[in-house]
Structure 1
Amino acid sequence: MATYLYRLGKFAYRRKGIVLSFWLAALVLAGVAAVTLSGPTKDTFSIPGTPAQEAQELMAERFPGGAADPFSSLSARYLVSAPEGQTLDEPQNQAAMEDMLNAIRGVEQVEDFAKAEPGPDAPGALVNPVAAHDGLVEQLLSQGTPEEQANADAAAVSPLSADRTVGYLDVPVAGDFSDVNEELREALQEPAEAARDAGLNVLVSGSAVEIMEPPGGASELVGMAVAAVVLVITFGSLVAAGMPLFSAIVGVGIGVALITAATGFLELSSMVSTLAIMIGLAVAIDYSLFILSRYRAELSSGIPRDEAAGRAVGTAGSAVVFAGLTVIIALLALRVVNIPFLTDMGRAAALTVSLAVLIAISMLPAVLGLTKSWVFRGRLPFLREVDPEHPTKMTNGRRWANVVTRIPVVTLLGGVALLGVLAIPAANLQLALPTPATEPPGTVARDSYEITAESFGEGRNGQLLVVADAQNVDEDARMDAFGTVVETMYGFGDVENAQIVGVNEAGDTAQILVTPLSGPISEDTMALVQDIRDAEAALAEETGIQFGVTGQTAMELDVSDRLADALIPYLLVVVGLAFILLMLVFRSILVPLTATLGFLLSVAATFGATVAIFQLDWLGIVSNPQPLVSFLPIFLIGVVFGLAMDYQVFLVSRMREAYVHGESAKDAIISGFSHGARVVTAAAVIMMSVFAAFIAEDMAFIKVMGFALAAAILFDAFIVRMVIIPSVMSLLGDKAWWLPRWLDRILPNVDVEGEKLTRQLETPKSDTELAKV
């Protein structure tokens, strides 16, 4: 591989016009595609094949035009509170609510059926909460329901609180999440403003009024600014510092443009491009940094610039290719989890990583050919030039390598102990899907959630919907069968109320609303969902009815089960493929094994630190401690594994190169570490800065992800790769590079360390022959 990349690097340097024209054309075409082909993003959440999703699909099939999927439909909730000392029954409050209702009916985007005149033939029409409650009680009594049960059933679904001081209206809105804009939000807020002027307290929440601004912008700029400072310090040159940034901007620009264009054909979330930018920026800067640093080292030996470019791409570029492959494998393997949201994010990020690799090994040497001798000019006089490639110069990296190889047991135990202590809080890990309960205090969604819980009970925020299918039951026995299901619900301890809230026209499917005593993320509600599902087999045998459970808690449980089931297969795919890849790179079994074990330590410490900060609030810097997002662990494991192997490849490949070229195992560790430590340190600081900048985002998932990725790089690059790995390799000595002969014969020799390339270049050749190398 080194030979082919050498040729590519030398070609790109010499034929810079062709190569740069290609990438410029790619950027322009991607931009044109983004402008002309893009469509709206779809911020929906679904998990195909889960019991909750299947129940939701069954309800949509049997109740066409009825309640829409709460995870993909638009709605607005008006939570109305009477002035202190009053109730909503009082005439002035009734008049204010009726005026607000009329104004809501006048909003163009509100569904037509909600604007209809209330009555038996208009079940979805908007109704004053007081009138809705009284009408519901009256209806139940007219059906022969005992008064006590009628009041209990009405209270479980009534939009009016027991003390009649709080009520709410759920307003269905036409369209999907892509239709939410400032005009719609203002139109839905105006009726509330009039009601407030009349003395009522009104909170408007829901998907139709949420501000879903895509994260990013300022975060990328902050990360790029820090990266620029680190690059200037690393190279001491403004021109050289700008090259990795330029490469990253081009690569991420093409990637984001292609993702934007794909929204015209695929249903992609607005968050998909956020991760692509986050990962793409970090790896693109790092990959260009490694090749540029090697180019500077090759130039110092006095060879021509085009030759230096070829050798830099042939050696450091080989490490870049394999490092990029590990990241791409980890991201694409998210498909194993079978959650569309994660699959899309993984594919988009893999695209930007692929572009980062291609740009680093082709466009960067072309830019070097364009700048020629100017690349390391623009030096800042107050920065001292340090050449870590100098064979005798004592650098901090060489000093640290001497310490590690002299006391490897102490440094190994110290590194493992530190990560072990950091991992302790991970034992308290709690996971949940984002809900209004996890929104920051003081937001409208959080206030609305808390007022609802206080006025109607915790269970009102976490109601479950049982969709009962009686197609296989005789028509005359269906209502009795539905009643049996309802009675069964009352047999579970956490149920406050259960009742039939709708039967379809065919009479073969019923919606049974179950109101738990606990909130949506409570363990008691989780247990209730499982109890209801476990009871299906016995009920199906007794009555012939089959049913499914959906709702926030049911979806939460299904996500947890899906992720738990996918974790082991995902790790086998990612770790297995990466292990094989690392065996190809290092021609060793123990080096990939120690790399993987070190990764587990850094991940455990990352989870511990993340739980301590964002869930347990140990330092008191988080205003809203809460469980972590359910899919964060598996996503974090995949991304961190790929990035961790980056530093393993970049650092240990220099050790392997020194060992192959004749140095002893100990000297190779010192030589490889001293050559690579400065660049790896700069790369790690850059990557941490890019990720840490996203902590300032408002979206909880992005905020936590930014922190977790930054912490993972800190632990993995500086503790695992720079303390634990050289300590272990020092203890192993020559055994670190052991590979069974039979396996050595099977594995192809990809020559990452450039041994074959070195032999070819050292063999005297004519100019014509050398040009063909």
Structure 2
Amino acid sequence: MATYLYRIGKWAFTNKFKVIGIWMLILVGMGVAGSTLAGPSSSSFSIPGIPSEKAQDSLVSSFPEKPKFSQDISIKYVLKAPEGKTLLDYQPAIDAMVTSMKQFDGVKAPDSIVNPFSPEAFGTPSDPGKVVQTSVDFQKDTFGKSDAQARADAAASSPINANATVAQLGASYTATQATDVSAKAHDQQTAVADAARNAGLTVEMSGTALPQPAIGVTSELIGVGVAVVVLIITFGSFVAWGMPILTALVGLVIGLMGVSAASGFFSLSEETPILATMIGLAVGIDYALFIVSRYRHELLQSKTRAEAAGRAVGTAGSAVVFAGLTVIIALSALSIVNIPFLTAMGLAAAVTVLVAVLVALTLLPAVLGLFGGKAFAGSIGFLNAPDTRASAGSTTPRVSNGSRFVNQIVKHPAVALVLGVVVLGVIAAPMVGLKLALPNDGTSDPSTSPRKAYDLVAEGFGPGQNGPLVVVANASGVSDPNARNAAFNNVVTKIKQLPDVKTALVSPGDVNKAGDAAVITVLPNSGPSSSDTQQLVKDLRSAESGITRADGVTYGVTGQTAIESDVSDRLSQSLIPYLAVVVGLAFILLMLVFRSILVPLTAALGFLLSIIATFGATVAIFQNGDLGLIGNPQPIVSFLPIFLIGIVFGLAMDYQVFLVTRMREEYVHGASARDAIKKGFGHSARVVAAAATIMISVFAAFMLQDNSLIKSMGFALAAAVFFDAFIIRMIVIPAALALLGDKAWWLPKWLDRILPNVDVEGEKLGEYLAQTTPDGGRHREKVGV
């Protein structure tokens, strides 16, 4: 591989204009594709095959007129009267709201929008309207309930609370995607709320039709800014820093345009591009950093710059290929858990990584060729790294801080190993209290209107009103059609007896035309994220078999709360299989790279230690609210752990490959086990530290985003890179290798024979370059791609 990559690097260097032109054509082409084929983002978290999804399919089959959950683009206003008054005192203001809502741009069925206090709707507590009377008659006639029971059910389904201090008012739009709601409609939404507030009401808004928080570019700019500073310090040059930034941005834009084009054909969440940006930008800079750094080193040993570029791509580029492969494997393997939105996020990020690798191997050497002898111009004397001509010609070899550091590690390996493990173990302790949930209005920032609306509903109607469960009952198994309504009523009665059930009812319109299916709305006493509500979902499903035997009715439990619960359960169940697949594949890949069993094993164990420390830190900060850094502590987003494992494992193996391949290179070329650690670390530590600092900065900058998922993901990734790069890869791994000595590089002979030799350390490349013609000239190279 090293020889082949050498040819690619040298060819790209000497054919710089051709290579740059090809990449510019790709950039323009992907830009056109991304802008013309892009589709809307999706906010759905459903998973085909989960119980709630099956129940929802049954609902759509029996009630085709009912939209799927989250597919109705709508807005909900929650109104609250001032202290000491009721909403009956503010009827003119509510009437004005209704009049304005009927004129919303793109509103659906404006005639259906009515003041809930009007006689045609629910009326008042003292003078019930037609809707209430219709519900009472339905309960009496259909299920034979008493007047008191019927009125209690009617009250439970009313958008007005018992003392008329809180009410809900809503409207739907003809749009099929939230992004299709016009800016004019958004302005109208705010104007309606402001007018009611001016009349003295408390008004908050929620719903899918509201404008979505914009994801700004501040985070990317901060990450790039820090990267610039780190690269200047690393290279000691005011010119060299620009090449990794430039090539990384080109690769990132191409990758994101590809993701944008794919959104026209696949359902992608709004977080997909931002997560692809986080990964693509970080690895793009890092991969270019490693190759440019190696290029500077090779300039001291090569006759021409083209040869130096070829050597850099052949050696560091080999590490880039395998590092990129580990990231791509980890991200692509997310598809094995069969969760569509997670698969899309993983594949999108994997595509950006693939582009970053290709850019680093081809465009970067072309850019180096474009700069020629000015690649490291504008040098800053006091920042010069060891791999410079000044240091090479010095009679006193420079000892880098990395060399000093690793000398202490190798001198006291047991102390370093134990210290690193203990520190991460202490940080990991809060992980035992990990709680998972999907984001909803109840987990939003308390300052936002959707969260305030959520809290007003809980205050006025009870927490369960924010997350009703939907039971889709099927009575086709009841042979007597006239007995089906009685069977439905029996099911409702038995559901009411379950723990945490506030009420359960079948409303008018919730029995289908055939009379063999009904929708039972179940209101819990607790909120959607409560463990009691999650348990109620399980209790409802456990009770089905007994109800079916007794009443002949089968049912499924769905609704947004049940869907979120099922998604969280599926994600939790997928963690171990996913981890096993990713670690297994990467272990095999690392065996190819390092020709060892113990080195990949220590790499995997180190990753596990860094990941549990990351979970512990994330739980402490975002769930427990420790240190007061987060004003709204909430359960961790359900798919953060599995996605974090995928990303961090890939990045962890990046540092393992970049750091330890240089150690193996020294060992293969004759150094003792301990000297190989020292020399390899001395060459690589500065660059790995710079790469990790850049990644930490890029990820941490995303904590400035308003999106809670992006904020927590940015923190977790930054923490994981810090733990893995600076504690695991720079302390624990060198210490473990020092303790193992030559055994670290042991590989059974039978396994050595069957494993292909990928020559990451460039031994065959050295032999290739050493070949000469009979007249003493250098071997004529067949340079090309």
TM-score normalised by structure 1 residue count? 0.96
1:170 Cα deviation (Å)?
A: 2.8
- For the pair 1:600 / 2:608, whether they are aligned, the reply is yes
| The 10-residue stretch of structure 1 (736-745 or 477-486) with the greater mean CA deviation from structure 2 | 477-486
The residue type equivalent to 1:7 in the other structure is R
| The 10-residue stretch of structure 1 (582-591 or 452-461) with the greater mean CA deviation from structure 2 | 452-461
1:756 Cα deviation (Å)?
A: 0.9
1:106 Cα deviation (Å)?
A: 2.2
The residue type equivalent to 1:459 in the other structure is G
- For the pair 1:439 / 2:444, whether they are aligned, the reply is yes
In 2, Cα distance between the equivalents of 1:410 and 1:253? 45
1:306 Cα deviation (Å)?
A: 0.7
> How many residue pairs are counted as aligned between the two chains?
766
1:619 to 627, 631, 635: 627
Q: Write the mapping of 1:516-595 to structure 2, written as runs, cut at 5 A.
A: 516-595=524-603
The residue type equivalent to 1:442 in the other structure is S
| The 10-residue stretch of structure 1 (75-84 or 428-437) with the greater mean CA deviation from structure 2 | 75-84
1:768 Cα deviation (Å)?
A: 6.8
In 1, Cα distance between the equivalents of 2:127 and 2:581? 55
Equivalent in the alignment of 2:455: 450
1:553 Cα deviation (Å)?
A: 2.7
Equivalent in the alignment of 2:248: 248
Equivalent in the alignment of 1:486: 492
Task: Report Cα offsets for 1:605-656 as digits up to 9, x if no partner.
Answer: 1011111111111111111111110111111011100000000000000000
Task: Report Cα offsets for 1:736-755 as digits up to 9, x if no partner.
Answer: 00111111111000000001
- For the pair 1:12 / 2:30, whether they are aligned, the reply is no
1:302 Cα deviation (Å)?
A: 4.9
Q: Secondary structure at the match of 1:498?
A: strand
Task: Report Cα offsets for 1:207-241 as digits up to 9, x if no partner.
Answer: 1114242x241110000000000000001112110
- For the pair 1:425 / 2:433, whether they are aligned, the reply is no
Q: Secondary structure at the match of 2:383?
A: coil
The CA RMSD measured in Å over matched residues stands at 2.2
In 2, Cα distance between the equivalents of 1:141 and 1:551? 25
Q: Write the mapping of 1:691-706 to structure 2, written as runs, cut at 5 A.
A: 691-706=699-714
| The 10-residue stretch of structure 1 (234-243 or 321-330) with the greater mean CA deviation from structure 2 | 234-243
2:719 to 707, 711, 714: 711
| The 10-residue stretch of structure 1 (550-559 or 752-761) with the greater mean CA deviation from structure 2 | 550-559
1:301 Cα deviation (Å)?
A: 2.5
In 1, Cα distance between the equivalents of 2:587 and 2:248? 28
Equivalent in the alignment of 2:95: 98
Equivalent in the alignment of 1:393: 398
Task: Report Cα offsets for 1:140-194 as digits up to 9, x if no partner.
Answer: 5445433432343233221111111111113222212121342221122333333
TM-score normalised by structure 2 residue count? 0.94
Relative to structure 1, the CA distance from residue 116 to residue 693 in structure 2 (aligned partners, 3 Å threshold; closer, same or farther) is: closer
Q: Write the mapping of 1:673-752 to structure 2, written as runs, cut at 5 A.
A: 673-752=681-760
1:262 Cα deviation (Å)?
A: 1.8
Task: In structure 1, list runs of 5 or more residues that go unmatched.
Answer: 120-124
Equivalent in the alignment of 1:110: 107
Relative to structure 1, the CA distance from residue 385 to residue 457 in structure 2 (aligned partners, 3 Å threshold; closer, same or farther) is: same
1:767 Cα deviation (Å)?
A: 5.1
In 2, Cα distance between the equivalents of 1:193 and 1:486? 41
Assess if the C-alpha contact under 8 Å between 2:122 and 2:128 holds in 1. no
1:137 Cα deviation (Å)?
A: 4.3
The residue type equivalent to 1:231 in the other structure is L
Task: Report Cα offsets for 1:438-494 as digits up to 9, x if no partner.
Answer: 111121111111111111111111211101122232222211111121111022121
1:325 Cα deviation (Å)?
A: 0.1
The residue type equivalent to 1:447 in the other structure is K
In 2, Cα distance between the equivalents of 1:42 and 1:438? 19
- For the pair 1:138 / 2:133, whether they are aligned, the reply is yes
Relative to structure 1, the CA distance from residue 127 to residue 355 in structure 2 (aligned partners, 3 Å threshold; closer, same or farther) is: farther
Assess if the C-alpha contact under 8 Å between 2:771 and 2:778 holds in 1. no
Equivalent in the alignment of 1:208: 209
In 2, Cα distance between the equivalents of 1:131 and 1:177? 39
In 2, Cα distance between the equivalents of 1:80 and 1:660? 74
In 1, Cα distance between the equivalents of 2:245 and 2:746? 39
Assess if the C-alpha contact under 8 Å between 1:334 and 1:638 holds in 2. yes
Task: Report Cα offsets for 1:368-417 as digits up to 9, x if no partner.
Answer: 11111000002235534443896942111111111111110000000000
1:564 Cα deviation (Å)?
A: 2.4
Equivalent in the alignment of 2:641: 633
Assess if the C-alpha contact under 8 Å between 1:290 and 1:679 holds in 2. yes
Assess if the C-alpha contact under 8 Å between 1:331 and 1:347 holds in 2. yes
In 2, Cα distance between the equivalents of 1:58 and 1:129? 36
Q: Secondary structure at the match of 2:12?
A: helix
Equivalent in the alignment of 2:178: 177
Relative to structure 1, the CA distance from residue 420 to residue 49 in structure 2 (aligned partners, 3 Å threshold; closer, same or farther) is: same
In 1, Cα distance between the equivalents of 2:359 and 2:290? 13
Q: Secondary structure at the match of 1:240?
A: coil
Relative to structure 1, the CA distance from residue 195 to residue 304 in structure 2 (aligned partners, 3 Å threshold; closer, same or farther) is: same
In 2, Cα distance between the equivalents of 1:531 and 1:591? 48
Q: Secondary structure at the match of 1:65?
A: coil
Assess if the C-alpha contact under 8 Å between 1:132 and 1:158 holds in 2. no
Q: Secondary structure at the match of 1:269?
A: coil
Assess if the C-alpha contact under 8 Å between 1:469 and 1:547 holds in 2. yes
In 2, Cα distance between the equivalents of 1:194 and 1:55? 41
Assess if the C-alpha contact under 8 Å between 2:98 and 2:114 holds in 1. no
| The 10-residue stretch of structure 1 (393-402 or 602-611) with the greater mean CA deviation from structure 2 | 393-402
Task: Report Cα offsets for 1:530-566 as digits up to 9, x if no partner.
Answer: 0100111222233332211112331232112211222
Q: Write the mapping of 1:341-490 to structure 2, written as runs, cut at 5 A.
A: 341-381=341-381, 383-387=383-387, 392-474=397-479, 475-490=481-496
In 1, Cα distance between the equivalents of 2:219 and 2:402? 31
| The 10-residue stretch of structure 1 (611-620 or 391-400) with the greater mean CA deviation from structure 2 | 391-400
Equivalent in the alignment of 1:303: 303
In 1, Cα distance between the equivalents of 2:248 and 2:670? 36
Assess if the C-alpha contact under 8 Å between 1:459 and 1:516 holds in 2. yes
The residue type equivalent to 2:92 in the other structure is A
Relative to structure 1, the CA distance from residue 385 to residue 572 in structure 2 (aligned partners, 3 Å threshold; closer, same or farther) is: closer
Assess if the C-alpha contact under 8 Å between 2:409 and 2:731 holds in 1. yes
- For the pair 1:189 / 2:190, whether they are aligned, the reply is yes
In 2, Cα distance between the equivalents of 1:338 and 1:128? 48
In 1, Cα distance between the equivalents of 2:128 and 2:9? 75
Assess if the C-alpha contact under 8 Å between 1:115 and 1:126 holds in 2. no
Assess if the C-alpha contact under 8 Å between 2:121 and 2:131 holds in 1. no
| The 10-residue stretch of structure 1 (267-276 or 699-708) with the greater mean CA deviation from structure 2 | 267-276
Equivalent in the alignment of 2:228: 228
Assess if the C-alpha contact under 8 Å between 1:280 and 1:356 holds in 2. yes
In 2, Cα distance between the equivalents of 1:452 and 1:220? 37
Q: Secondary structure at the match of 1:770?
A: coil
Q: Secondary structure at the match of 2:17?
A: helix
The residue type equivalent to 1:185 in the other structure is H
The residue type equivalent to 2:553 in the other structure is I
In 2, Cα distance between the equivalents of 1:115 and 1:153? 22
Relative to structure 1, the CA distance from residue 717 to residue 641 in structure 2 (aligned partners, 3 Å threshold; closer, same or farther) is: same
Q: Write the mapping of 1:59-70 to structure 2, written as runs, cut at 5 A.
A: 59-66=59-66, 68-70=67-69
Assess if the C-alpha contact under 8 Å between 1:467 and 1:510 holds in 2. yes
The residue type equivalent to 1:518 in the other structure is S
In 1, Cα distance between the equivalents of 2:38 and 2:164? 49
Q: Secondary structure at the match of 2:87?
A: coil
The residue type equivalent to 1:464 in the other structure is L
Relative to structure 1, the CA distance from residue 116 to residue 308 in structure 2 (aligned partners, 3 Å threshold; closer, same or farther) is: closer
Equivalent in the alignment of 1:122: none
Relative to structure 1, the CA distance from residue 133 to residue 599 in structure 2 (aligned partners, 3 Å threshold; closer, same or farther) is: farther
Equivalent in the alignment of 1:666: 674
1:204 Cα deviation (Å)?
A: 2.1
Assess if the C-alpha contact under 8 Å between 2:329 and 2:586 holds in 1. yes
The residue type equivalent to 1:47 in the other structure is I
1:195 Cα deviation (Å)?
A: 2.8
In 2, Cα distance between the equivalents of 1:160 and 1:767? 93
